[in-house]
A and B are shown apart, each in its own frame.
Chain A
Amino acid sequence: MTTLKVIEVNSIIKTYKSEGLETNVLKGISIAIDEGDYVSIIGPSGSGKSTLMTILGCLGQATSGTYLLDKEEVGQLSDRELSRIRNEKIGFVFQAFHLLPGVSAFDNVMIPLIYCSKTPKDAKERVERALIRVGLEHRMNHTPGQLSGGEQQRVTIARSLINDPKIILADEPTGNLDSKNGIEIMATFDNLNEEGRTIIIITHDSVVSEHARRILTLRDGQIASDRINENFKKPRAGFSRVATQ
């Protein structure tokens, strides 16, 4: 494992102000994440996990604190540059899938390529490869409504991978899935991590968090614990990685 830090956040504070009411959601968070690491963030509901993810994913700015992503200070960047980072360096996976309704799996996976600085010539092949990789070569022209939950989540993984990002940010990726589909999705993440991609997964589920090498616990907007998972990469019963190959 390299010691290059892909993410370095320092004393991040996030305060929501609405109608004179101030909510301190993140109260000084500092983490450094190595490139290629496999991290899960757990914690009770309302502890600020999703908020932290929007900041890590450059979807929103922290109220104060610094954030270095790939050695770039995110707080200083314009909308244009933030969009480029989201496009090139980060792949998002959401609990609610967030696929465009009525749009085929193929076109959903294509979305990140629309907003590239230059759409690659082999875009079509890349989309096909990504969908084959998640085992959906026979569902390319199906719309989300015609796909099962597990299939939809696999489409979102293909979408997050299409631009070959360094970091995958997943917010409760198994939250809407049954255990069988959950296991398959987690196997895919394990696989992606083995390829060297940095994976950050937010979850409630201890089975899911046990896939990660490092487990962060968030409580009331602060890091309550930060530990290395001794069970990491131990063979787990009940699934095989072959499923995603």
Chain B
Amino acid sequence: MRISRNLVQAFRGLRLNKGNTFLMTLGIMIGIASLTVIVAIGEGTKSKVLSRIASLGFGPESFSVYSGAGRLFFGRNRNVTSMTLQDADDIRAMPEVAIVVPRQRKRMRIINKKEFTSTRVYGVSPEWQPARQWKVVDGTFFNDMDMERKRKVIVLGATPAYNLFGEKDPIGKKIRVGQVFFEVIGLLKKKGLTESGYDPDNRALIPLTTSMSRLFRQAHLHSMKVVSIHPEMVQKTMEGVTQILRRNHGLSSLADDDFRFVTPEGIMQWVTESEQALNRMLFLVSTVSLLVGGVVIMNILLVSIRERIREIGVRRCFGARRSDITQQFLFESILVSLLGGLMGAILGWTLSTALRHFDFLPVKITLDPFLLAFIFSMIVGLIFGIYPARKAALLSPDETIR
């Protein structure tokens, strides 16, 4: 087979022109490596967001209201203090509403003797547990009495419990949250890390009244979870909540809301939108990086052909057809791209693994970008090899040999 003989010559050409081969490989390698790393980060971000949603524990009949204008988890102003317990009571009075869980939230350091850890501390009402339906495996959840007496009791998630007590039973122990001592009365069931590394167990819960008066020392709420009596009532409930909050906060009809809803649909929509934006960006970045690699290959091949004009002449003198020369250089460019693609994939995989290991960025390694890298690098080699290969083939033999 003539074509396989030309393939062999292409291998030889690459071997004999190591410098150029190396540079071409490098061009594609960098393109493919960055592509695979970017895809891994993109996938990681996506799955982090998705698992975050899953861990929010939304049923179809519930939603949250966050203090401050903005969208979903992204408040425009962190210092909004307008949401109060009065709002929660008014909403609870609505006929469409089954449960309201007012919440405060802060990341704090908690300490048991010499052990300490940092976790998200929530001040919530006792309804939190039925609303979330999160089991307590040891001890109990706090009740209305704890709430009324502003007791310094705390329910730990599995992560801080382990960090402070190891395998020992934490129930009844005293721990310090900031400067205040709390008694551990309950332990939440462990949910485990989500795929992307988000840890839903990294939390601690205290009565809302305690957090307001003894720990955070603030009256305003961070957010409320609202469970409506039926999934179909959610829309109507949200309208009612909007009216109540606007009235309670004294907003004029021209003013914007100073609160925002977080609903499963809202999140899903946002995820879809950001996924599309991310995919567009990924597409752009990968196209650009591969184009750069391709242009590098093309230029080096053009230089290489000028350097190897004698070789082309010799081959032509001894019977190589134009198509033989075209094939040889096309094979060289495809082979070099594949090699670069392979090395880029290895480099990309290594970098992604390192990023994941050191926890810089959310990273999720999937097979797709590596397969695509392979196919793309081959296509790049083919497309950007055509022009130099044809150029080499169309040189007239007597020009190449003199």
Shortest CB distance A123–B (Å): 11
B401:A112 contact, CB within 8 angstroms: no
B16:A102 contact, CB within 8 angstroms: yes
* Binding-face segment, B82-90, B236-244, B274-282, B315-323: B315-323
Q: A98-B310, A101-B16, A114-B5 are in contact. Are A83 and B398 (CB under 8 A)?
A: no
- Our pick among A98, A102, A111, A115 for the contact of B321 (Cβ within 8 Å) is A115
Residue-wise interface mask of A (110-154) relative to B, using a CB-CB cutoff of 8 A (1 in contact, 0 not):
011011100100000000000000000000000000000000000
Across-interface contacts of B396 in A (CB, < 8 A): 59-60
Across-interface contacts of B402 in A (CB, < 8 A): 50, 54
Across-interface contacts of B9 in A (CB, < 8 A): 114
- The B-contacting residues of A in range 44-92, CB under 8 angstroms, are 50, 54, 57, 59-60, 79-80, 83-84, 86-88, 92
Give the top 9 A-B pairs by smallest Cβ distance, nearest first. A87-B319, A115-B319, A60-B398, A54-B398, A59-B397, A112-B318, A59-B398, A83-B321, A102-B16
B316:A59 contact, CB within 8 angstroms: yes
Across-interface contacts of A112 in B (CB, < 8 A): 318-319
Q: A86-B318, A112-B318 are in contact. Are A98 and B397 (CB under 8 A)?
A: no
Across-interface contacts of A59 in B (CB, < 8 A): 316-317, 396-398, 401
B12:A79 contact, CB within 8 angstroms: no
A88 to B317, CA, bound (A): 11
- Our pick among B16, B310, B324 for the contact of A115 (Cβ within 8 Å) is B324
Residue-wise interface mask of B (310-346) relative to A, using a CB-CB cutoff of 8 A (1 in contact, 0 not):
1101111111111110000000000000000000000
Q: Which single residue of chain A is at the shortest CB-CB distance from B8?
A: A114
Q: A79-B322, A100-B311 are in contact. Are A57 and B317 (CB under 8 A)?
A: yes
Q: Which single residue of chain B is at the shortest CB-CB distance from A51?
A: B398
Across-interface contacts of B310 in A (CB, < 8 A): 98
Across-interface contacts of B398 in A (CB, < 8 A): 54, 59-60
A54:B319 contact, CB within 8 angstroms: no
A60:B321 contact, CB within 8 angstroms: no
How many residues of chain B get a CB closer than 8 Å to chain A's CBs? 25
Across-interface contacts of B320 in A (CB, < 8 A): 83, 114-115
A101 to B399, CA, bound (A): 19
In the complex, whether A207 has a CB less than 8 A from a CB of chain B is: no
A103 to B315, CA, bound (A): 13
Across-interface contacts of A159 in B (CB, < 8 A): 318
Shortest CB distance A94–B (Å): 7
A111:B5 contact, CB within 8 angstroms: no
Q: Which single residue of chain B is at the shortest CB-CB distance from A143?
A: B16
- Our pick among A79, A88, A107, A119 for the contact of B5 (Cβ within 8 Å) is A119
Shortest CB distance A223–B (Å): 20
B318:A87 contact, CB within 8 angstroms: yes
A59-B398, A111-B314, A115-B324 are known; give 9 further A-B pairs, CB within 8 A: A57-B317, A59-B316, A60-B396, A60-B398, A83-B320, A83-B321, A86-B319, A100-B16, A114-B320
- The A-contacting residues of B in range 351-402, CB under 8 angstroms, are 396-399, 401-402
Across-interface contacts of B314 in A (CB, < 8 A): 98-100, 111
A57 to B400, CA, bound (A): 14
Q: Which single residue of chain B is at the shortest CB-CB distance from A58?
A: B397
- Our pick among B2, B311, B321, B399 for the contact of A79 (Cβ within 8 Å) is B321
- The A-contacting residues of B in range 1-47, CB under 8 angstroms, are 2, 5, 9, 12, 16
Residue from A54, A98, A112, A115 with most neighbouring chain B CB atoms (10 Å): A115
Shortest CB distance A107–B (Å): 8
A84:B401 contact, CB within 8 angstroms: no
B322:A86 contact, CB within 8 angstroms: no
A119 to B314, CA, bound (A): 18
Shortest CB distance B18–A (Å): 10
Across-interface contacts of B319 in A (CB, < 8 A): 83-84, 86-88, 112, 114-116, 163
- Our pick among A50, A84, A115, A116 for the contact of B315 (Cβ within 8 Å) is A115
Across-interface contacts of B323 in A (CB, < 8 A): 80
A57 to B402, CA, bound (A): 13
Residue-wise interface mask of B (299-317) relative to A, using a CB-CB cutoff of 8 A (1 in contact, 0 not):
0000000000011011111
A84 to B319, CA, bound (A): 6
A98 to B323, CA, bound (A): 21
Across-interface contacts of A163 in B (CB, < 8 A): 318-319
Across-interface contacts of A114 in B (CB, < 8 A): 5, 9, 319-320
